[in-house]
Amino acid sequence: MGHPKPKLPGSVSWAWSWQELAACARFDPRLFFHPTGERGEGSRARELAAKQVCATCPVLEPCRAYALAVREPYGVWGGLTEEERAHLLRRRRAARAA
Ligand code: SF4
């Protein structure tokens, strides 16, 4: 259960041991990844429920850092949706360019 173990890029020597403490390991992964065609209120409710699990997770920070570092394209990771991660990454790029 929980998130699938990621395929780490060779250049990223990321310690994956934090996943052993993941709060989401006790939940159905479908809570964290939107099914095809999910929209609107159903999507928001599922994401909110996933975020509530993340809020209790002792490894939220390394999970979020991992998802941002490898540009995880889908799902809630580290309490952030894919849209929120994309927004954060755009802000970081803009701040670096300024
Ligand atoms: S922060 Fe959320 S997605 Fe990441 S390991 Fe914890 S529960 Fe899972």
- Give the pLDDT of residue 18: 81
Mean pLDDT along residues 45-59: 97
Residues touching ligand 1 (Cβ under 6 Å) are 2-3, 22-24, 53-54, 57, 59-60, 63, 76-79
Residue of 63, 70, 85 best suited for mutating to test ligand 1, as the one with most atoms within 8 Å of CB: 63
- Give the pLDDT of residue 12: 44
Instruction: Enter the pTM of the model.
Output: 0.84
Mean pLDDT along residues 82-86: 97
Mean pLDDT along residues 12-32: 83
Instruction: Give me the residue spans of the domains in the chain.
Output: 60-98
Question: What band does 19 get if pLDDT is binned at 50, 70 and 90?
Answer: confident
Residues 16/17/21/24 CA torsion (nearest 10 deg): 20
Higher-confidence position of 50 and 3: 50
